[in-house]
Structure 1
Amino acid sequence: MVRTMQIKIEDSPANALDLCRDMSHVVVAGRNMMKIYSIEEDTFLEKFNLATTKRSVTNMCCNDVVWCPNDDQLIATGLTNGAVVLWNLGITGRSKQERVFEDHKRTINKVNFHPNEAHYLIAGSNGGDMSLFDTRQDNPGQIFNTNTNEAVRDVQFNPHSYWQLAAVSENGHVQLWDIRRTDRAEHTWSAHSSPVFTCDWHPETKSCLATGGRDKTIKVWDTSKGGTRHEAEHTIQTMGTVRRVKWRPQRKDYLAHSALADSSINVWDVKRPYVPFALFEHKDVATDIAWLGDPHRMIATSKDSTLMHHVFDDAVRPGDRANPVGLGFSGRGEVVHASRQFPKLPKPLAFPGGLPGSKYRKPLGMSELFRMCKSKLAIHAIQQQDNSTTTQNGSMTTTTSPYDSGPQMSDEDLVRGIAREYKLGDASFAELCDNNCYVAKKMNKEHVALTWTILKTLNACSTRSEVRPLSGEVVTGTEEWKDDKRLRSFSGKHNRSKQPSRNVSGNSSSSESSTSEDEIDNCQALTDIARGCTASAIAGDFFGDGELSGLGMEHLISLEGGGVGGGCIEDAHNSSQDFAIPIEAFEQRQEISEAGKNEELVVDGEDSVHTVTVEDKTSSVVVWGTHAALNTRQIWDQGPFVTETLHWYAENGDIQSAVSMYIVLAVGRNGEMNSKMKGLVEESVLEHWFLSYVDLLQRLQMFTSANEIIRLCPLATVNTMNCQSTTFLSSCGSCGRTLARNDGIWWCEKCRKSPATCSVCHAVVRGLLVWCQGCGHGGHVQHVKEWINKQAHCPAGCGHHCQY
């Protein structure tokens, strides 16, 4: 009985493995190690150790190994020093090396035998070229130059075409070569956006090739289709970089892959590419995989020096462990519910001529159930009304805001609308906050609008340097303040007949000041209240208007200005009519006789004069001044609050609000970086925010808004993105020759034609030219637009499917 088993390789981890023709033996190779094991029912038996001689050890740093499919005696290895070693197990003696090919100077990444010819051996290296060796001769092999300096990571012969091979490289391209022609590839296309590490031809389907790379995707291609803009037939998103891809035998739509940083081996169904069909677990990263000619058996090696034999019955089924029910809420109050939809069972079949009631129902296999798995998605939205209404359903109360009366917008439309209407510069800070607050409200983002209002309040008038004397401070140099209009809040005897207004001492203030001055005072008072460093809030809000005016609020001790000065008592006597207190306002109590801490305030009433003894520290309220010689007050720092707010928006997926608020706070006022905002967010985090927002705008094709965000970013790594990749060389649409000369834009020297010819009207384009990046044909913008609206193929007649 076949079962899952493993063996520990003592020498070193294996970098690669391969099976012989009858799948009874496996060869594993690594650093200073190369062994052959026999695959038994319950264990692995070591048959050969090819690293036993001094000569063989020098050629033992193997990067890849392959067993000849036509001759069980031949094995080839690719070394890290650029050599290709041919091993012959039929040689008598301890050393089994037959030939060493040293055509390459850099690491060999992949070696492979021809599926039909045992003497043809191909090798791909980091030098960007491939060599085809004839193992019967010692001559250098044929060189296939890819015309790039990118490493060739995998080479595979097409089992359905005698002369064709596929090569993948680190520039993300896939090339199809004819081994009879070494000067250029017959077909090349860009398959991945990053290096491609592996490829594998389908064993049954002709022209079917699977590739995988660093972009965490596996793509299946139909190589019979032409065109440079090749589109994949299937795409599978994986969790990590793809290291190896192998088609599953006898299963047309199944393949397995191992990752570069993940320890598991996943088996995928290309018809259901979102969850793996099966999973084999390892303790460390799997370095190579191979099927044992049976769809239920696999062999693999890993970096923990383990050789494992997997049986499909012991595999983990991620689809069975997945939660079949999902529930989610949106910011607009929508509820989304997803559940599994069970497939309908096939109808029972009656046997012809059988007994009545004898029916046969074919049971569904696990693979069929996995592929037939479907889900149902339901979205429940709150019914919109014109006005704000409240509906009650049982114990749940739903409130519809007037802002929700408009039609619901998708997330993409919200991002587009906010990006278009937000203002991030060329205006004052208050104007930017007001405009962005209005836009956020219009887009039904009340919490974002409230944040803009709070930021405006915290930073309003923060750039003013005007000094305002507060109550309780000792004013030195009285003549300096007598002519100041703000002195009106400290002496109310000159304007008792005017309309009273709230101030620090609770007295009346002059109404002769202009409206603009009152607005400035109110703005400054609002800012001081938000910062918590003013006494006006104490006197006016906590104690009420005029409640402490009779208690001598002006004579509270200032910790910055010292004790009570001489000028303050005179002011108290001069403003005696403002501090007139009835006799009934005070209950009879014993006089405080402690020396040195009392002072007498003479309060003139209408009928008589009363002397009231008041303690210096009547209240525990201490008023801090803003112009004292020693400023030691603790002002609330808004930096941590702003930092926490920006991080909250970014962590909850609203990167647009986080970046916009940072720009307005840091660089939105005068186009220069605000020194107070330096260090508000770490540069690494800030760079990630900006790049994410720019990528989001570019995906939505809002390139102008993305360019504006790049320009306003204070980081040099992001701000200089506009200076990169701005130079390109045009090519001739007929022959593909690069037009590098200054006078070669209107004329191609190779084909003697004008490359800027409109494919629709066949006239020379002497203005704005648009062309297809796939086939190179184009013409006048208006002509191409009219053509693409009616036709899907290139107007030049090349057969390419252009995407304008």
Structure 2
Amino acid sequence: MALNWNNEYYVALEGKDLQANAMAVDITGTYVLLAGRKYFAIRNLDEEVQLVQKFPRQSKYDVGAAEWNPTMHHKELCVISSNQRLEVLTWRKEELAQTHSLKAHTRVITDLNWHQMDPNILASCSVDTFIYIWDLRDSRRPSLSLSAIAEASQVRWNRLSSNLLATSHDGDIKIWDQRKGTAPVQYVAAHLSKIHGLDWSRTSETQFATCSQDNTVKFFDTTNPRKAEYILTTNAPVWRARYTPFGNGLMTVVVPQLRRGENSLLLWNTANRATPMHTFMGHKDVVLEFQWRHKRPGDSCFQLITWSKDQTLLVWKIEPFLQKLCGYEPEDPHEVTSYHNPKENVEKIVRKAVPKVEPLQQEFSLLNVHIPNLEVKSMNFPNRVCSVRACVNRFTVNLEVTFPIAYPHGVPPNFEVKDGSQVDENVANQLLQTLNHLAQQRVSKNRTCLESCLRQMVTTLEQLITDSEADRMYENTIINPENSFGGFNDAYIPFPRTSGAKFCCVDSLICFGRVSHARRLSTKMEIATPRALSALENILAKRSSHQLSISAYYYQKPRSRTQHYSAKPSKVLVHIYDCSGLFLVHKQLAKDYILGGDVATICKHNAAAGAVVGRLDLVQAWALAELVANPQKVDEGDIWAHHPFNSHLMESLISHYSSLNDIQMAAMLCCVFGKQQELLLAMNEKNAKTPKSQAHFKLVPSTFTSSKITKHILHKSSSSPYHTIPPADVIAEGWVFPSLETIKSSSSVDCLWSENTRTIKAPSSNIYEYYKLAYAETLYRWGLLYNRAEVLKHLSWPQEIHKGVEFLCDCKNCIKPSRASSCNSCRKLTLNCIVCHISVRGSANCCIVCGHGGHTIHLLQWFERNDVCPSGCGCKCLIETGNMFGD
């Protein structure tokens, strides 16, 4: 059975039951080891059938890392890490057996690596800050112990120097020489964030690469380690960055824990770091591990083995043209890679021409040649050229598309308008600009672009040529003096109800306007923009030669140079803009903010969240709030709790952010430092028993007496700009909030501030309730329902008195009515399910005629087969209830 290649890869294994998180390929490229908590699995890649040998593993710890011995002398050896232990396994005669168990680390092992030349030596590093070098000839204890201050996350032996190894510690790299004691020989301050990956160069013993949480890959030389030689910037934190076994290539993959949908691998040329040379897309989940398979004899392609969290093993074919993109000339297919001497592989340079590239030939064969108004003249695959002709109205464009050798892998085709085209230079330039932009967008994702560009060419020509005719008509039209300030000046002023802009969904701006032909028709007819719809009808009656209604005017569409009106509606573009950068509210902050727990802890956590998104002002504000919550940080005494600056500080912060319309910060401060008035009074009564330092954060009570007071406070004066109380959704869409200083200084508001209790009285705290409601509405529109519920818990609005029909349940124990699921008198559950006879917790329904009820799901199942009450009372609950409500 032949391998089922899907473009550039084939699925070598689908092992949903393995749940493996570590993968390793042996030196010969024949066997792949997959290791998890329950199983070891061996897959022979030389066999086309997916035959997998599984070996049960009895351990409560998962596998952290796995690696085969990199030398041909001990190619049957592999090692895995499991918690604090290393297990050396031997693969011989289709059996996998453990030969060594190495234990010296006291914490979890983070990485391991075999020596590149000595088959008996390997290194391991751990959270316990130690790096151990093991010799299998004496496995009782490590042969060398290296100690660092911080934990080591990666360890790698130099590929060309037998005594050097490198380790990563947070954002730093240490270079060790096993001949020179236990101190590092070099120290490199590589990144400000944690380093996830480390790899030595295959061609130079002094160069290595690091990848980090800071979205960069940096390249260093040990001869000058103070500064990175060059930096490669990506769009996400990089989990692994490893040199390719050919040319100047580098392969990267994002951090698996991020779960951002980035399931692809990127191939870079370190000599050209502007954009990836190729993107490998095939996995449905994040990539956990990738390794290279050595070239097989007689094969010109390298192979890449990847293992993903979707539990699939893919084998990727690295075509010669991809190798050339990385500055490598493919070798002679009869030449075999040396496994014994890595330096010998570096010195091999054999040139070979690259034949045709399959993607372009396939694209030519699948091209739709029946695109309206377009004729494909020729497709010359050997010369990589395609010629087309587009005819729109009486204009013609001859376009020639030339495809570079690297197309479509990050390199766009070249577009050229040829002789014989009947179009002006301006239209030609705009057409080329549009095509180049579209092509660049598609090839940046390694997608073909020919058919998309040809369709866009016709669409663009229709638009550009129509606009060009309108401009020419505008220039040739004689403007009457009496209309010089009429239709021509007003031609681009929107007509009534034909354009608009509105902020929606918190951070989106929706815009729409008239179609372009309507503006051109207004210019031709010298129609000034009316100031009302009634004025438009009079203008049309005077200017138009035939009767044209207002509705027909708005739905007109020109079909030819003489026919200007049609009942067919025109297409109007609606533009949606992301305006999140214009507002101070931040969705990521909404996700990261917390409200539960100790107040000081909340402030510290929220300050860290503000630092992550770059809002240093929020960091300062939450730090001040933490001081209010923890007066001991200022003074060991409890003076801070009664300091006059205490209450003013929080009020000023809330007022400041409300004046900036930062409803998010204002509402969060109100939630964290707002308590009910009753709690404050209770604290005052128990002042002698309660430490004063515990009452300091109850300085912004959020309660009120009645809604009438709210309206009286906000709208007492007719001159006040706040005439009506807006609903929460209106608040979320741009309500300007009055600051606390505005309320306190307003002459129309009485007794808002008490200097004796140093608290904001009930009326002003109504404003704080609106802050919370507006922020809760914003969270709802973002889909953050849990966060919204947390904010609503801090509201202090009084519960409205229920008006209308109310159903009560008589407690089955004390026969007293109860509005809740549990009785207020006996504290027992009030309702028993008539089907299962168990007390109801959760969703319930009752018949309003006979009064019997129970679990909703049980009643639903009962009445699917029956129409009489399950209690035996004879009531037809569904029919009787429907009749009562008139249905």
Q: Greater helix percent: which structure?
A: 2
* Bigger relative contact order, structure 1 or 2 (CA pairs below 8 A, ≥6 apart): 1
Category of TM-score, reference length = shorter chain: 0.3 to 0.5
> TM-score normalised to the size of structure 1?
0.42
TM-score normalised per structure 2: 0.39
Larger radius of gyration: 1
